[in-house]
Amino acid sequence: MMNKAKLNYFVDLLLLISFLLVAITGILKYPGWFNHLVLPWRTLSKIHDWSGVTIVLLVMVHLFLHWKWIVFMTKKIFLRKEK
């Protein structure tokens, strides 16, 4: 079984890869910037769309893995007593 640190690493690595795919394909799809595409438009759109779906799923996993920290920090920031 994988420990939490390794799982976090792989989730974050996959998030980075997905982000780069969305960013690059988004730039390539931008109207008027690249008229001579290396990949066909349909393939480019599929890569862009599925990378976006992957990001959404991985962000949900990322938030789940860090939920205790998010709750802790939220309480620390908003429930802090003033002196």
Q: How many helices, marked H, and strands, marked E, lie in the chain?
A: 3, 0
pLDDT at residue 15 in the model: 97
pLDDT at residue 38 in the model: 66
pLDDT at residue 82 in the model: 63
pLDDT < 70 regions, the chain: 32-38, 81-83
pLDDT at residue 42 in the model: 85
CB of 15 closer than 8 Å to CB of 62: yes
Domain boundaries, the chain: 4-77
